[in-house]
């Protein structure tokens, strides 16, 4: 159970969140794991800023019912993934590869998370079926500096 985000405890709570007009962002995984806690803290730090457009919640993998597991391909091995929903359906996101509605890419920090949320919101606003996220938003500053040094 996440100490940083609202926790989804039942199918009814999940269905209620899906019916909202805001975009739903659900973190599936195990809150006790280090990467999940990092994601939860990051999402909690921006939750108030984006609450007008996004509903953010955590759903523990062990609490997901069998029906939802099959529908959204959630397994016991699902450690920390993000899934965006709008109008009751998952949103496909592409990180310069085959699109998936399960986001398992490493997101380095709050700025990159905000960039992702902005791109998803813009994509939904423009009725995109697949939202393309370009890798430059997710390169950490050290790797950009290394590239600059290599060029000189």
pLDDT given for residue 144 in this prediction: 47
**Do β-strands 80-86 and 89-90 pair in parallel, antiparallel, or remain unpaired?**
antiparallel
What are the pLDDT tens digits along the chain (152 aa)?
Answer: 888 999 999 999 999 999 999 999 999 999 999 999 999 999 999 999 999 999 999 999 999 999 999 999 999 888 899 999 999 999 999 988 889 999 988 898 999 999 999 999 999 999 998 998 876 555 554 444 444 555 55
**Dihedral angle sign, alpha carbons of residues 29, 33, 38, 42:** positive
- Residue 94 in any domain: the answer is yes
User: Which tokens hold the place of 74?
Assistant: 């959630």
- Residue 29 in any domain: the answer is yes
- Residue 15 in any domain: the answer is yes
Q: Which residue has the tokens 């659900």?
A: 26
- Kindly report the CATH number assigned to the domain that includes residue 44: 3.40.30.10
pLDDT given for residue 45 in this prediction: 96
Give the DSSP H/E element, type plus range, for residue 119: helix 110-125
State the chain's mean pLDDT as an integer. Answer: 88
What gap in Å lies between CA 89 and CA 136, rounded to an integer? 27
- Residue 121 in any domain: the answer is yes
pLDDT given for residue 116 in this prediction: 94
- Assign 1 to helix, strand or coil: coil
User: Which tokens hold the place of 101?
Assistant: 């509605």
- Residue 1 in any domain: the answer is no
pLDDT given for residue 103 in this prediction: 92
- Residue 40 in any domain: the answer is yes
How many structural domains comprise the chain?
1
Per-residue pLDDT tens for 72-93? Answer: 999 988 889 999 999 999 999 9
**Which domain range does residue 37 map to?**
6-151
> Per-residue b/e over 23-51, b at no fewer than 16 CB within 10 Å?
bbbbbbbbbeeeebbebbebbbebbeebe
């Amino acid at each position: 159970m996440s100490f940083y985000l609202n926790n989804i405890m039942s199918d009814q709570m999940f269905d209620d969140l899906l019916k909202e007009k805001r975009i739903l962002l659900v973190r599936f995984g195990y809150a006790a794991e280090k990467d999940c806690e990092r994601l939860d803290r990051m999402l909690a730090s921006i939750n108030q800023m984006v609450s007008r457009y996004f509903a953010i919640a955590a759903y523990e993998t062990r609490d997901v019912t069998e029906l939802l597991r099959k529908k959204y391909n959630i397994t016991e091995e699902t450690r920390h993934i993000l899934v965006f929903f709008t109008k009751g359906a998952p949103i496909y996101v592409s990180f310069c590869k085959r699109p998936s509605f399960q986001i398992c890419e490493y997101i380095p920090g709050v700025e990159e998370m905000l960039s992702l949320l902005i791109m998803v919101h813009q994509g939904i606003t423009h009725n995109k079926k697949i939202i393309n996220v370009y890798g430059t938003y997710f390169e950490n500053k050290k790797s950009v500096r290394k590239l600059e040094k290599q060029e000189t």
